[in-house]
Amino acid sequence: MKVKLEILNIYATSKDKKEILKNFSLNINDGESHVIMGPNGVGKSTLSKIIMGSNDYQVNEGKIIFKDHDITSMETSDRANLGIFLAMQHPISIEGISNSEFLKTAVSSNRKIKVGIFEFMKEMENAMNDLDMDPKMMHRSINQDFSGGERKKNEILQMKLLKPDLIILDELDSGLDIDSLKIVCKNINDYVKENPKTSVLIITHYPKILEYLNADFVHIMKDGKIVKTGSKELANEIETSGYSVIEEEK
């Protein structure tokens, strides 16, 4: 099985020079689903931003390889065009740019062709219907006055249209009611089923979301690195006993 994402001994700091990731390593193969869990402040969300190339963090040592490309110093847009997608924990709103305008531009850039307006609008309409979104949202400013659930659905709408090879879900269940969570997870599962080489990295505090999404491997983070790896049962152990029972693997 081919390695899709390879994170090699990453050391990373924030803008204020605080060390966040410390000798962090992780391999994700084609079609695998990995979960990162851990208490607050261990670097879970930071990891997603570093993979995506956020300017808020500096990689000081190590490499990130995606589909045989060294993306360690690559711009965020270039990483996205290679096929990485991040569904953010707190999606931002952008006034003055409609969902349809933003997505048509992003899709055209991603596919390296000028997407026809009729073809695009039909594709977007079908995706919004899958997500039980009001069609009027395609003409509204990005996330402007959207509820938490609507913002998360909007993230998955972007995923469905951009067709990534690696999906990173940062605290997907944050701000979602149970009905919206089921809809969002069904759309992710359907996408992965239709694109079986797609890999998924799920970042979460709680194992509840794993009732709706597959997990091949569960990793526990502590002090900026992975200290234990297991199956879905490891997530259940955390839910029962908490993170204090986890000891670093030797």
The pLDDT of residue 248: 57
Please state, as a whole number, how many other Cβ atoms lie within 10 Å of the Cβ of residue 202: 24
Q: Which domains does the chain have, with CATH numbers?
A: 3-245 (3.40.50.300)
Summarised one tens digit per residue, pLDDT across range 195-250 is 999 999 999 988 889 999 999 999 999 989 999 999 999 998 888 888 876 765 54
Summarised one tens digit per residue, pLDDT across range 153-167 is 888 999 999 999 999
CA 247 to CA 250: how far, in whole Å? 9
The pLDDT of residue 93: 65
Instruction: Tell me the one-letter amino acid at 44.
Output: K
Asked whether the predicted pLDDT for residue 129 surpasses 90, the reply is yes
Region 73-94: mean pLDDT is: 87
The pLDDT of residue 250: 45
CA 68 to CA 70: how far, in whole Å? 7
End-to-end CA distance of the chain: 26
Q: Among residues 215, 196, 193, which one has the least CA distance to residue 204?
A: 215
Region 145-152: mean pLDDT is: 78
Pick the residue with more confidence: 15 or 6? 6
CA 105 to CA 102: how far, in whole Å? 5
Output the six-digit token pair for 210.
Answer: 């794993």
Name the strand (E) or helix (H) holding 22: strand 19-29
The pLDDT of residue 120: 86
The pLDDT of residue 245: 64
Share of residues in the chain with pLDDT > 70 (%): 96
The pLDDT of residue 37: 94
The pLDDT of residue 110: 79
Name the strand (E) or helix (H) holding 12: strand 3-14
